Structure 1
Amino acid sequence: MSVYTTVSRESLQNWLQGYALGQLLELQGIAAGITNTNYFVTTTHGRYVLTLFETLQLDELPFYLSLMSHLAKHGVACPAPIADHTDHFASPLAGKPASLVSCLSGADVSQPSAAQCRAVGEMLAQMHKASATFPLKMRNPRGPRWWSQAAQQLYPLLDAETAALLRQEIQLQDSHRFDHLPSGVIHADLFRDNVLMDGDKISGFIDFYYACNDVLLYDIAIAVNDWARLENGELDDSLARAFLEGYQSERALTEDEKACWPVMLRAAALRFWVSRLHDLHQPVEGDLTYTKDPAVFQRLLAAHAKRLDFWMV
């Protein structure tokens, strides 16, 4: 959600003629995230979020936008894509595929409470259940194959100790398989900045553009690794328990899932450690962009390796 592609008021006004959204009043860039270009767009009919996709192609977007529409119809709190006059959710703008979604109220939280963690866990389980009837499929583009390939490019750029730790963690993950676990559509990026809160109530999950089909437990691990993480790299036990209690109030975990949980927490940390190392050493140029610290997930992996309590009932 950064600004890589500049959109002029004139080009946006022309593009908006394809929608029944009134006249453009304001266009404001959003300086957060690291993947796509985002703007707040205000018209005489309301406020929306405009996304220009920097890597996804137009023919890849139906999965993500149709998923959001499906979830919104099933009561999951998330933005609803806006269809144009031709009943499409996306079309070219400034040389990139672009879409509009409803702008939700609320704000992200930097220090979540146990009640907020429980609410997010509960909504994530509801999302997993609602997506069971979603017919489209999308392979995870940043699964084990991706992180192994990305690591090969990173090893020469890292100091010897970091490279050795990364290689060791990838070897550990290669020795485990999770194909027998329940799977379905996952968000795959449910960090604190991708959930809008209104007090303890969820206004919406946002940024579904890493959503894919994968193991449900992996989605839970990604979220817990962020929502319960402290500044020192440890996880807060009370926050982690609250998240898992919220999730299991809607969908009970299987015994196989519980057994795989410790390694899955490490898999989720590894994915974002590699991603942030990749962004740091091979950045994409853009306006209003920033790179997140990969050491956060290196510390988290070290903490997981030493952990004895994994909060499973």
Structure 2
Amino acid sequence: MAVFTAVNDADLAGFLTHYSLGAVLDFRGIASGIENSNFFLTTERGDYVLTIFEKLTARELPFYLDLMQHLAGHRVPVPDPVVRDDARLFGELHGKPATIVTKLTGRPELAPNAHHCAEVGQMLARMHLAGRDFAASQPNLRSLPWWEHVVPEIAPFVEGDTHRMLLEELAHQRAFFASADYASLPGGPCHCDLFRDNVLFAHGSDEGGDRLGGFFDFYFAGTDKWLFDLAVTVNDWCVDLATGELDETRANALVRAYQTVRPLGDAETRHWRDMLRAAAYRFWVSRLYDFHKPRAAEMLKAHDPGHFERILADRIGSASVGSLS
């Protein structure tokens, strides 16, 4: 999240005329992230998040908001879009689609242990199963077709082993995506970006441990293979940030908890390494693109492409990452 589009008091007042949320008590921008303009909003009715979509169009947006509403209705803890007085889930600010969603409680756990990973794994599986009867479908917009489009644009910026890995991994993923095994993998609506900073925990709960508060930031969601969503999550929650290597204790806790809700099939088990590589490649390509072709923003924290380059290199070369416990 970031602020690319500024919102003044008059802008906000005009937008809120379409909602029944009462008087504004607090409004401020959110600095983290790189895709949309986001603001914390507190009114007489409660705490919310206002998002202005910098890339998503009004035609694309209903998939994400309807999915969040669907999951919230199935008791998956996600932000629930606030319905406007005209029954719509979004409007327009500065010529761009914008929405208000409920704000979850808790804060991100940026140094997770096995308990946190198990909580995330179990809820991720619940989310996947809850999405089975979601009627809409939209591809993951940062999958293979996008890689094929942007890799030629960023390849001239890198050289040596980095350039070679960028092109060789694209070829590997093309072959994997074209395989019969890939086609057989189960899937449905996926978060596709379930990093540590997109999950909240209520710390020191009455139950004696940190309790998962919910998943948020669904604006990279898409219809994809559930194994891809699991791999994206493991690659962030269970990684040594300095080396990119998997922490086996955390990875086993997350995957085992996931499988208590949705056991993995044989093809998923066979292609775990391939999907870990796909998940790492997706974010490496994205970060290379954002680094070499940046956009201006009032508040922006760039992400290091080298982090996912190290993760991908480990998933390709490590002998242990292909197994599932």
TM-score, structure 2 normalization:
0.94
Alignment of 1:34-45 (within 5 A): 34-45=34-45
Partner in structure 1 of residue 260 of structure 2? 249
Q: CA deviation at 1:152?
A: 0.5
Partner in structure 2 of residue 179 of structure 1? 183
Partner in structure 2 of residue 92 of structure 1? 92
C-alpha separation in 2, matches of 1:85 and 1:293: 42
Q: CA deviation at 1:198?
A: 1.3
Q: Residue 13 of structure 1 contacts residue 23 of structure 1 at CA under 8 Å; is this kept in 2? A: no
Q: CA deviation at 1:95?
A: 2.1
C-alpha separation in 2, matches of 1:94 and 1:41: 18
User: Match of 1:92, SS?
Assistant: strand
C-alpha separation in 1, matches of 2:286 and 2:59: 24
Q: Does 1:281 align with 2:292?
A: yes
CA deviation digits over 1:43-69, x for unaligned, max 9? 111111000000111122111111101
Structure 1 alignment gaps of length 5 or more: none
Partner in structure 1 of residue 207 of structure 2? none
Partner in structure 2 of residue 144 of structure 1? 144
Partner AA of 2:197 in structure 1: D
Q: CA deviation at 1:302?
A: 1.3
Alignment of 1:153-302 (within 5 A): 153-177=153-177, 178-199=182-203, 200-231=210-241, 232-302=243-313
Partner AA of 1:120 in structure 2: V
C-alpha separation in 1, matches of 2:155 and 2:19: 48
Structure 2 alignment gaps of length 5 or more: 204-209
Q: CA deviation at 1:269?
A: 0.2
Partner AA of 2:96 in structure 1: K
Partner in structure 2 of residue 305 of structure 1? 316
C-alpha separation in 2, matches of 1:152 and 1:105: 42
Q: CA deviation at 1:94?
A: 2.3
User: Match of 1:64, SS?
Assistant: helix
Q: Residue 270 of structure 1 contacts residue 301 of structure 1 at CA under 8 Å; is this kept in 2? A: yes
CA RMSD of aligned residues (A): 1.0
C-alpha separation in 1, matches of 2:77 and 2:45: 21
C-alpha separation in 2, matches of 1:308 and 1:239: 18
Partner in structure 2 of residue 106 of structure 1? 106
C-alpha separation in 2, matches of 1:113 and 1:264: 23
Partner AA of 1:153 in structure 2: E
Q: CA deviation at 1:161?
A: 2.6
Q: CA deviation at 1:159?
A: 2.2
Partner AA of 2:136 in structure 1: L
TM-score, structure 1 normalization:
0.98
Sort the Cα spacing of 1:288 and 1:65 in 2 relative to 1 into closer, same or farther, 3 A.
Answer: same
CA deviation digits over 1:275-307, x for unaligned, max 9? 000000000111111210011111111111222
Q: CA deviation at 1:209?
A: 0.6
C-alpha separation in 2, matches of 1:210 and 1:60: 11
What is the number of equivalent residue pairs in this alignment? Answer: 313
